[in-house]
Chains A and B, each alone.
Chain A
Amino acid sequence: MSTPETPGMPESAVGSENVVDRRGFLRGLAAASAVATVGDAVSPAFGQQASGAGTAKPAVRRYPIDEPVGMLYDATKCIGCKTCVVACHEANDLPPDTRRDPRYDAPLDLNDYTKNIIKLYRAEDGETTSFIKAQCMHCVDPACAAACMIGALQKREHGIVTWDPNRCIGCRYCQVACPYNVPKFEWDSATPKIVKCELCNHLLADGGQPACCRVCPTHAVIFGSGEELLAEAKRRIAEHPDRYEPKVYGEHDGGGTQVLYLSKKGIPFEKLGLPALSEEPVPERARTIQHSIYQGAIAPTVLYGLVLAGVWRSRRSGAKDSALEQEDSE
């Protein structure tokens, strides 16, 4: 039974709790992936088929993702209790950030101690407010993974972007690339790591879920399959157009993200710190340029051949010149 007045309660069951059990979403995905695997190169962005009337050109998915999982954060349900912040610390063995005030875990933003944070947006009128949960967006085509030269940051199982300490040299190109400014660096460490949300992938075996989703008292953030979450997000907008901004952030933004956002009506996503991005995946341009120059190493090889010819000819004429000089001096 739909009870719109009850805050925080899910209006329909996305699974019996808001966790889609593994079997459930595998089944659901089997149906979706049948469509997705057709025409892989120009396949629709995952979740595209649920959007109904295609309002925009589908983004090109670069990385085929098996059984993508994600989160859906509904800002209208969040009460800013920050239990997700505490749970994230505990699940990821992170120390509380007491650097600003020894009494509290009070970071100003994501940082080397904080993989998940709740921020508050307050409009100029002082009245309109919204909480926003910030963590890694687990993009469909992540800029950080495109940046990382040695594959330390990569999209791995279920599309979760994880960091490998055995490869990372700490060059921080991922920090330059990410449009959401997510990867953080341990600046004060002699052996620094890159720190960012990895969807608690160490807990997902045996039907687990990310710690933030597990503890949220209002189910403002829920975990599930990418397909189902997008469908749920759209359903909420359709059923309560007066409550929500008419857009699911992350459906196509920057090529799409696996963490989706719903905002309160009247609060555009940019105000919440989610940048306005085109549908083109963020790394597309740089990647295209790099590929077109270096594809198959053709251009470098041709250039090398040309230069080799030039050098050979120059040295030969140079040898002739110095031979002439020798003759002159004798």
Chain B
Amino acid sequence: MLPLHLLAETPDDLLDHHVDRRDFLKICTMAAAAVGLPASAAAQMADTLAHGGRPSVIWLSFQECTGCTESLLRTSHPGLAELILDLISLDYHEALMAPSGHLAEEARRQAMEKHAGKYILVTEGAIPTKDGGIYCKVGGQTAVEMTREAAEKAGAIIAIGSCASWGGIPSADPNPTGATGTPMVLEGKTVVTVPGCPANPYNFLGVALQFATFGTLPELDEKGRPLFAYGRTIHEHCPRRAHFDAGRFAEKFGDEGHRLGWCLYKLGCKGPETYANCSVQHFGEVVDAWPIGLGHPCFGCTEEKLAFRVPLHQTAVIERPTPPDTYPPIHADRGGVSPWATGVGGAVVGALAGAGYMASRKLGEEGSETGPEKDEEARDVDP
């Protein structure tokens, strides 16, 4: 991992950096393994790259905090240096490139021209759309225009981070700039989105390197998110899931349950509604370096409907409820009897019985039959 000051040198200096073949293959192997590409990819990657086929990457930055780039700086498989020097050709990146100003924009246009149809367009940060998109302009161009221009001839488009995927934090209420994600301004184009705040860098690397090596994109969901990383909710692959199933919850920060590492659902964990792989692919390459691992509930940073919208400690909806770690008994007690019903039922029966008895008394009061009535009957009855 090269120190940062070295990256500030001119592009030519960078080109002098040598890597011997063995190290080069090691880099490719590590890169392939880290992002889940098959073992054969390493050899293929090396082969493609050795023949000067480093794909060009145009990285546009808009309403962003640069956290996703920073996140990428913290990988080591490959490290950023190996990445940008050996695996890809980072032809435009406002934070990392040496040139600036019109020179930088010119370099960008030339690269786009030269690698038309093949370059990878990466966007970081949200794109403001209100008032003609004037709230973010680079070199006199609005973010919207810049994106659309760059997307024209891109071979693949990857939006890294939640901001680029759907608007992220700039799009939080009241969203004064009309911030939105890259797919929303590129109607009809396939945009791979790699949400997260920041995105897990290996998710990005997986997509970029697959495209670089094979020219294909991984399987995506309806939001453009690669399924290998966003196909499951955190809840479905969380190390604390056993605590959830057993009903062991931390109720307050610092209480016994919290110290024991119990489930953070009651503290507002959005894991059940959040599609991401943070629970298996931690951050900074430190084990348990992810929110839940550190004892803070997930806030759903990848999800447009959750992040920066739903209060941190509001409990989530369980999308796929499964049985808990408890069992019903052989004969569970069911039902009870309403006292009201008993009362009404009793009243009805009582009323009927009472009415019947009263009626019989009234009937009886007429006494036994005497007089002309009886005689009449006696005559009328058939012998």
Tell me if chains A and B make direct contact, with any CB pair below 8 A: yes
Contacts of B366 in A (CB 8 A): none
**With an 8 A cutoff between CB atoms, is A186 at the interface?**
no
Judge if A106 is at the interface, Cβ distance under 8 Å. yes
* A98 CB contact (under 8 Å) in B265, B321, B332: B321
Whether A271 and B330, one on each chain, are in contact in the complex, defined by CB atoms closer than 8 angstroms, is yes
Q: Is the CB of A273 within 8 A of B330?
A: yes
Across the interface, which residues of B come within 8 angstroms of A122, CB to CB?
329
Selected from A104, A120, A131, the residue in CB contact (under 8 A) with B321 is A104
Query: Is B330 a contact partner of A108 (Cβ separation < 8 A)?
Result: no
Contact B323 A104 (CB under 8 A): yes
Compute how far the CA of A99 lies from the CA of B328 in the bound complex, rounded to whole angstroms: 14
A132 at the interface (CB under 8 A from B): yes
- Nearest residue in B to A122 (C-beta to C-beta)? B329
Complexed CA–CA distance, A2 and B318 (Å): 43
B331 touching A105, Cβ below 8 Å: no
> Contacts A103-B265, A103-B318, A321-B382 given: A82-B323 contact, CB under 8 Å?
yes
Asked whether, in the complex, the Cβ of B320 is within 8 Å of the Cβ of A96, the reply is yes
Cβ of B327 within 8 Å of any chain A Cβ, yes or no, is yes
Chain B positions within 8 Å of A80 at CB level: 327
- Interface range, A side: 20 to 34
A238 to B287, CA, bound (A): 51
A104 touches B330 (CB 8 A): no
Contact A119 B327 (CB under 8 A): yes
Interfacial chain B residues near A109, Cβ < 8 Å: 328, 332, 334
In whole Å, how far is A110's beta carbon from the nearest beta carbon of chain B? Answer: 10
Q: List the B residue with the shortest CB-CB distance to A101.
A: B324
Q: Which of B317, B323, B332 contacts A86 (CB 8 A)?
A: B323
Chain A residues contacting B329 (CB-CB under 8 Å) are 119-122
Known: A118-B327, A119-B330, A271-B330. Is A86-B322 also a contact (CB below 8 A)? yes
Q: How far is the CA of A68 from the CA of B43 in the complex (A)?
A: 55
Select one of B321, B331, B332 contacting A103, CB under 8 A: B321
Q: Tell whether A85 is near chain B: CB-to-CB under 8 Å.
A: yes
Determine the distance from Cα of A281 to Cα of B323 in the docked complex, in whole angstroms: 35
Contact with B along A78-98 (1 / 0, CB 8 A): 001010011000000000101
Is the beta-carbon distance between A102 and B318 smaller than 8 angstroms? yes
**Contact partner of A104 among B317, B324, B331, B334, CB < 8 A?**
B324
For window 314-354 of B, CB contacts with A under 8 Å fall at 317-318, 320-324, 326-332, 334
Q: Are A105 and B330 in contact (CB under 8 A)?
A: no
Residues of B within 8 A of A108 (CB): 328, 332, 334
Q: Is the CB of A120 within 8 A of B327?
A: yes
In whole angstroms, what is the CA distance A82 to B317 when docked?
A: 22
- A104 B332 Cβ-Cβ under 8 A: no
Q: Are A105 and B322 in contact (CB under 8 A)?
A: yes
Q: Does A259 contact B (CB under 8 A)?
A: no
Within 8 A of A (CB), among B96-151: none
Contacting pair A107 B328 (CB below 8 A):
yes
Interface residues of A in 101-153 (CB under 8 A from B): 101-109, 117-122, 131-132
Given that A96-B321, A98-B321, A321-B382 are known contacts, is A106 also in contact with B330, CB under 8 Å in the complex?
A: no
- Tell me the bound Cα distance from A96 to B323 in angstroms: 9
B residues 226-246 touching A (CB-CB < 8 Å): 244-245
Bound-complex Cα distance A98 to B327 (A): 15
* Chain A, Cβ-Cβ closest to B315: A103
Q: A272, B321: Cβ atoms under 8 Å?
A: no
Query: A167 vs B318: C-alpha distance in the bound complex, in angstroms?
Result: 37
Q: State how many angstroms separate the Cβ of A312 from the closest Cβ of chain B.
A: 20
Residues in A whose Cβ lies below 8 Å from that of B318: 98, 102-104
- A213-229: which have CB < 8 Å to B? none
Query: Contact between B382 and A106 (Cβ–Cβ < 8 Å)?
Result: no
Contact B331 A273 (CB under 8 A): yes
In the complex, residue of chain B having the shortest beta-carbon distance to the beta carbon of A81 = B323
Given A96-B322, A105-B321, A106-B323, answer yes or no on A119-B382 (Cβ-Cβ < 8 Å): no
Question: Closest Cβ of chain A: how far from B273's Cβ, in Å?
Answer: 13
**Cβ-closest chain A residue relative to B332:** A108
Measured CA separation A107–B323 after assembly (Å)? 8
Interface centre among B265, B317, B326, B331 (most CB of A within 10 A): B331
Assuming A104-B245, A106-B324, A131-B327, what are 10 further A-B pairs, CB within 8 angstroms?
A82-B322, A82-B323, A86-B323, A102-B317, A102-B318, A103-B324, A104-B322, A106-B326, A106-B328, A273-B330
What residues make up the interface of B, taking CB atoms closer than 8 Å to A? 244-245, 265, 317-318, 320-324, 326-332, 334, 382
User: 8 closest Cβ contacts across the A-B interface?
Assistant: A120-B327, A108-B332, A96-B321, A104-B324, A273-B330, A82-B323, A105-B321, A108-B328
Interface of A with B (CB < 8 Å)? 80, 82, 85-86, 96, 98, 101-109, 117-122, 131-132, 271-273, 321
